[in-house]
Structures are given as structure tokens and as C-alpha cells.
Chain A
Amino acid sequence: MRLMRIWAMARKEFIHVFRDSRSLGMGIAIPMIMLILFGYALTLDVDKVPLVIWDQNRSQASREFVSHFLGSRYFSLQGTVDNYRELERAIDSRRALLALVIPPDFAGRISSGRKAQVQLIADGSDSNTATIAIGYAEGIAAAFSQDIFLREFRRQGGGSFSRPVDLRPRVWFNADLESRNYIIPGLIAVIMMVIAALLTSLTVAREWEQGTMEQLISTPVKAPELIIGKLIPYFSIGMFDVLLAVLMGEFLFQVPLRGNAALIFGQAAIFLVGTLSLGMLISIVTRNQLLASQLALVLTFLPAFLLSGFAYPIRSMPMALQYITYLIPAKYFVTLLKGIYLKGVGPKVLFVEGIFLAVFGLVMFALANKKFKKKLI
């Protein structure tokens, strides 16, 4: 292993990268544009759920009940309907996700001390929004019932006391439940995963396809030197991307960074070595750009998106699949970034993820070395 040969290899690759300005631009611009676009666009906050109301009672009590819904920021009234067909139509055409049906005997039942059944119909096809919206609605109904109860209690001279038990919810790490605060750290991880693998997945395959590999083989450069040399330029681009992403998280999106920024860069470096080597490995094994790009995409994009805990909580997956997620490096990086950003925890808590990430990097690098043969067949 000679530094000089590594450097020569790296220089050649740097020239390659800088000459193809479009690819370089994409390597830097794509992650940034995506982070800006998605950082603003993506939120899972459920509010202003479109709602239609079918008030069959039209009494003071029913209007008061409805006003609790209108006053809540979680619902936005899309209008009222007068019959079942209209209601069905509103939900079928996605004009409303929720419909509140107040029965004709609403006020009568309440004043006579009986149970008034209000129907809430939800478009369950988006189960996530539906679950949360139903929860909010149930909260409003429960509070309304309790108010009636307390009012009646006072009126009949039962004394004035408040609700016997109150839930005091406290949310740690993300007090306002802003989904952006957890989407952005996760997004950085997913974007880096994909970009890194894409950057390197074609480098070796291209040399094979264009025939320049034969020239490389005839030089004294050794396999690890070639691989390290090829990794250096992409590693620099990747680290530059991470730097930009962290700066944007800080200044553009104001995601609180409670932990140590140096730790982020350290972990990002390890993560990049792993994913860049994975791309390289794909390139070495396939020797074919079409196949390499397909594989890179298959192995990085969707797993990083769906199995890393970025969009879907890993805890909700079946046990077997939870084990499979241990093979997804993005999972560790997502956990690390969320931990450092939101929880402000350090190496003491995160060392397991750090170790897994390092092992992944080493294995990928070693595999790339092992699979690369300086032979023509």
C-alpha cells in the first residue's frame, strides 16, 4: 500500500468528478434541494381535518356541541349536509375525512339525563389521520359530557368541584410534538444513504464498461489502493453534504440540536465509509451500470425509507422484520441523529448503534476489497 498510488488514484477520480459537472452538481445540489423541499413539505401533524356536519337536531345544545369542534384547530368545517347521500358523497370524493352526525333527539336526551349518541364517520382509508382525528373528537365529546355533568352537579347543589382526575401529559424531547423535528434528522440520514451509494455504485462498473479498467489493471495500483483512492473524492462530497445539511437544520429549520455536533460528523464519517463501500461493492460485483444502478436503488432507497424507522416505527413491525432492520445501516444513523438532535444523548447511550455502524463500514470495505480482482475475466 503506497500513499502515492492512492493519491494518484484519488486525483484521477477527482478529475473525473469535476469534469462531469452535472454529476458533481447533482451530488451536491440534489441532497440540498431535497432537504429544503422535504423539510418544508413533509409533516405528519394532523390538524385542520376537513369535517362536514349533519345536525339533525338544530338546538342550542347541538350548536354548542358543534362549536367545540369549530373552536379546535384540529378540525376545519367544510360545510353542513342534510342527508345521508350528501354525506356519503362528501367522503367518497375526499372533500371531507370526517362527518359528524347529531341525532334529532340530541338535546332531548341530554336534558332528560340519558345518553345521546353522536355518530362520527371517518374515512378510514388513511388510518393514521383517522386514528388521530377520532382521538381528538373523542376528547372533545368526553370533555363536553363532563361539563354537562359538572354543571348539573352544581345546579343541584352538589358543590363545585373540578374533574376528579386530570391527565397531565408531558412530552419529552419534542414538547410541541412538531413532526418536523423528527423528520429532518431522519431525512438527512435517508438522503445521505441513497446519495452515497449512488455516487459510488457506477464508478467501477463504468471503468469495466468503457474498457478503461484494462488500463488500470496494467498499472501497479493494488486493489485496496484503488478502492481507497476512488472513495476519497466521494467521501469529500458526502462530508460536504452532511455539513450543509447540518447547517440547514440549524439555521433554516431550527431543529434543536441538543447534543454534540462533533459526534454527528464523526458518526457521519463512519456511515459514509460504509455506504460508499456498499456502492463500490455493488459496482465491483455487477460490472454493469444498468444492474448496478438498479441494485443500488433497491438496496438503499426503499430500505432506508421504509425500514429505518424514518417513516414507520420499527417497534410496530413484526418481530422477524425487526431483526431484518438490523441489516439496514440507515436505521443506526437515523437513531443516532434523532438521539443526538432531539434527546441530546451522547456516546454512553448511543455506543451500540455506533459499534454496529462501524462494523457495517468495516465489513463493506473488506468485502469490496475481497471481491475486487485485478483480472480481466
Chain B
Amino acid sequence: MLERLKQILIKEFIQILRDPRVRSVVFAMPVIQMVLFGYAVTTDVKHVATAVYDLDQSVASREIVARFVRSGYFDIVSNVAREEEVQPLLDRGQAQALLRLNKGLEENLKGGRPAAIQLIVDGTDSNTAAIVLNYGGKIVAAYSQDILIDRWARLRGLNQKPGRVELESRAWFNENLESRNFYVPGVIALLVMLITLMLTSMAVVREKEIGTMEQIMVTPITPKEFILGKTIPFALISFIDVILITLVGVFWFEVPIRGSLLLLLLATGLYVMTTLAVGLFISTVSRTQQQAMMSAFFFNFPAVLLSGFVFPIANMPEAIQWLTYLNPLRYFLIIIRGVFLKGVGFMILWPHLAALTVMGLLTLWLASQRFQKTMT
């Protein structure tokens, strides 16, 4: 049994690594992707391209613009002089926000009448827009508060300030709220799944399609050995990939690992087992490589989008939230983010590890069941 397994393993390794192009796709590509996408995955909103339409041209209006600039979030890209210039700026996306200060702003302020500042925001990216509005609201509220305090001081003297609430916010696990720290571990999980699933899903079908399956069937190899022979090389390759891209994440992007490496390795093993099993299962139900690829893709795409990688699961409709429990990536994301950012351990992560284990074993069993049927 072991001898036969060794032989089939040798065959598989030769088959996979023979082609230098495949070698580069399997080893170099994930690293390149990791570097590229590691830079891409950020939702931090800084340097909002802002246009200013200052109709008041007063000390007060300039003060407000200065406060926007000082906040560090707004970059003034242009000063608008006429109404007609506003629309094209936002249409073309040259400005994401427009600060409009109407005539009479300073007069109103001096006379104690309410004054309004208009902030027009491009809502096409609603996420960025919400953050920009937050920033704007904060700056104007602070300005407003300063004016109030000023008036109060003039009326009552400085020693009689009213009380106020100050919110002191602290972000745990990611003090500077760097979105890259959140997404880079996710990219690792994503790349691993794409690689393993695609490789294994084609593995068995290819033998069927080019006819070499018949040759294997006349050898004394048992289905179990065949499946092991198909999985082990990919498991090894995937592990090497995991290590490579994790190194990129840690040393290149400097994402902190706060938890236990051992736990991460264990979870990765379970995760790779699950995705390999899904790949094998797809392989056994497909007749052509095209079908296998389409099916793998049919699994991959939803798995990525419905995993909580970008789009929070908590916001999804109830029914779809249930569906995400079938998604191995969901569990692995929680684990890998937990280990990287929160440094939480087995005590908190065990339900997700258990889910991965059950899912992996079940799929593996299903795939080998189906496979035995197709062999005979």
C-alpha cells in the first residue's frame, strides 16, 4: 500500500512540477498577488479631493476652510468661482466633496443668527461618503462649539463653563484603525482557497479527459490511494504557499501576529484540507475540465463575497447569513484575523476550528464516496 502510494505521489509531483509555467503559477503568482493586493486592500479615507466654493470670502469662511485642511482629511484640489463649475467637477470625479460657504456667513455669525455650511459629497461610493460626512460633521461641530464657548466667555466670564461630554474612543487590536491590518490576513485566506481549489478540481478530471484514467484503473491502485496521491502534493504545495504569503504579509506589510503561530498552522491545515476536499468533490462530479473550472469558480466567487472578507456578514439578510455557515472561508477568516489582530486563542476560536474539521472530513468522505462510484 505504502509503496503504491509512493509511486503515485512521485507521478503526481512530476506531473505538476514538470511544466515551468505551472511552477511559476503555483509558487510565484501567489507571492506577486499578495504584494499587489496587499497594497490595494485599504478602505482608509484620507486626502479627500475637495473643491471649495467660497461665496463669502470672509475671515470666518477662510477659517472654516483652514480647519478642513488642518484636519488632514481634506485636500483642497480646486477653488470654484462660478456655479457652473460645480457639476462637472463631481461628474468627472475630480472632486469627491465640495465645501460651499454661502454669502452672509460671517454676518450671520456676528449677528448670532444660525449659519449653514454646505458640504456636497459624491455618494457613488457610499462608504467613503459616509466617512467624509463624519469628518465634516466633526469639524463643523468643533467650530460651532468654539464659537459658543467664545460667546459664553464674553457674557459670563471664563470661570463659569458648562459641563460637556467628551468621547474618548479607543480601538482595540488595531489602534490606528489601519484597514490594511484587517484585510491582509483575509487576502492570505483568499489566495490559499483559490489556489488549492483550482488545482485539485482539475486534477481528477484531467486524467478522465485525456484518457489516462483508464491506465490508472488497470493498475492495482485502490481509490483511497489514488485520492491520497492526488491530495497530498497539493496539500504540500498549498502549505508552502501559505508560508510564503504569510511571510509577505508579516514582513512586507508588517501586519502584527499577536496570537499563537501553532494555532494558525493547525487552522491552516484544517482549512487546506477542507478546500482540497471541495476541489476533489468538484473533480468527481465534473466530466470535462471546463465543467470543473466553472464549478470551482461557482464555488469560489460566492465563497469570497459571502465570507465577511469585504462585506460584513452581520449586514446580510438572515437567510444568507445561514448560508454562510457552509462557507469554510468564513471560519478561517475569523480564525486568521483573530490570531493575527486579536491574539485570541483556542478557548475563543474552538467553535470555528471544530466547524472546519467537521466540514473538511465530511466533504472528504463525500468525495471519496462519489469517487468510488465513478471508478467502478
Contacts and interface: CB of A to CB of B under 8 A. Distances in A.
A118 B165 CA distance: 7
Contact of A171 (B121, B148, B301): B121
Interface stretch (B1-9, B130-138, B220-228, B267-275): B130-138
Nearest to B44: A316
Contacts of A163: 114, 144, 148
Interface of B: 19, 21-22, 25, 29, 33, 36-37, 39-47, 49, 88, 90-93, 96, 109, 112-131, 133-138, 140-145, 147-148, 151-152, 155-156, 160-175, 177-179, 181-182, 190-191, 194, 198-199, 202, 206, 209-210, 288-291, 293-298, 300-302, 304-306, 310-312, 314-317, 320, 334, 337, 341-342, 344, 348
Q: Is the interface of A mostly helix, strand, loop or mixed?
A: helix
A224 B209 CA distance: 28
A94 B142 CA distance: 32
B210 to A, nearest CB: 6
A175 B133 CA distance: 12
A240 interface: no
Q: Chain A CB within 10 Å — which of B33, B124, B288, B294 has the most?
A: B124
Contact size range, A: 35 or more
A323 to B, nearest CB: 12
B177 A127 contact: yes
A307 B40 contact: yes
13 contacts: A20-B288, A30-B298, A30-B301, A91-B172, A92-B348, A124-B174, A138-B167, A139-B134, A177-B126, A295-B25, A302-B191, A306-B37, A321-B39
Q: Give the 4 A-B residue pairs with the shortest CB-CB distance, closest first.
A: A124-B171, A135-B134, A174-B123, A110-B163
Contacts of B147: 164-165
Contacts of A43: 311, 315-316
Contacts of B294: 22-23, 26-27, 30, 198
Contact of B290 (A127, A162, A289): A289
Given A149-B148, A289-B289, A321-B40, A115 B202 contact: no
A290 B202 contact: yes
A363 interface: no
B152 A117 contact: no
A38 B317 CA distance: 11
Given A171-B129, A302-B37, A116 B166 contact: yes
Contacts, number: 396
B163 A131 contact: no
Contacts of B298: 26, 30
Interface in A204-228: 206, 209-210
Given A122-B170, A165-B114, 16 more contacts: A41-B306, A42-B305, A131-B134, A132-B127, A132-B130, A141-B167, A166-B144, A172-B123, A177-B123, A182-B125, A191-B301, A194-B301, A298-B29, A312-B310, A313-B128, A349-B92
A182 B138 CA distance: 26
B102 to A, nearest CB: 10
B290 A167 contact: no
B165 to A, nearest CB: 5
Interface string A14-50: 0000001011001100100010011011111111101
B126 A179 contact: yes
A20 to B, nearest CB: 7
B155 A158 contact: yes
Interface string A146-160: 101110110010100
B173 A123 contact: yes
A71 B290 CA distance: 53
A141 B124 contact: no
B25 A178 contact: no
Nearest to A308: B40
Nearest to A47: B315
Q: Which has the most chain B C-beta neighbours within 10 Å: A131, A145, A166, A321?
A: A131
A301 interface: yes
B119 A169 contact: yes
B194 A301 contact: yes
Interface string A112-138: 111111111111111111111011111
A5 interface: no
A345 B91 contact: yes
Contacts of B142: 142
Contact of B117 (A37, A150, A166, A317): A166
Contacts of A117: 166, 168
Given A161-B114, A177-B129, A41 B311 contact: yes
Contacts of A173: 90, 122-124
A115 B291 CA distance: 66
A342 B124 contact: yes
Contacts of A277: none
Contacts of B170: 119-122
A273 interface: no
Contacts of B136: 167, 169
B320 A40 contact: yes
Contact of B25 (A40, A120, A210, A294): A294
B151 to A, nearest CB: 8
Contacts of A158: 151-152, 155-156
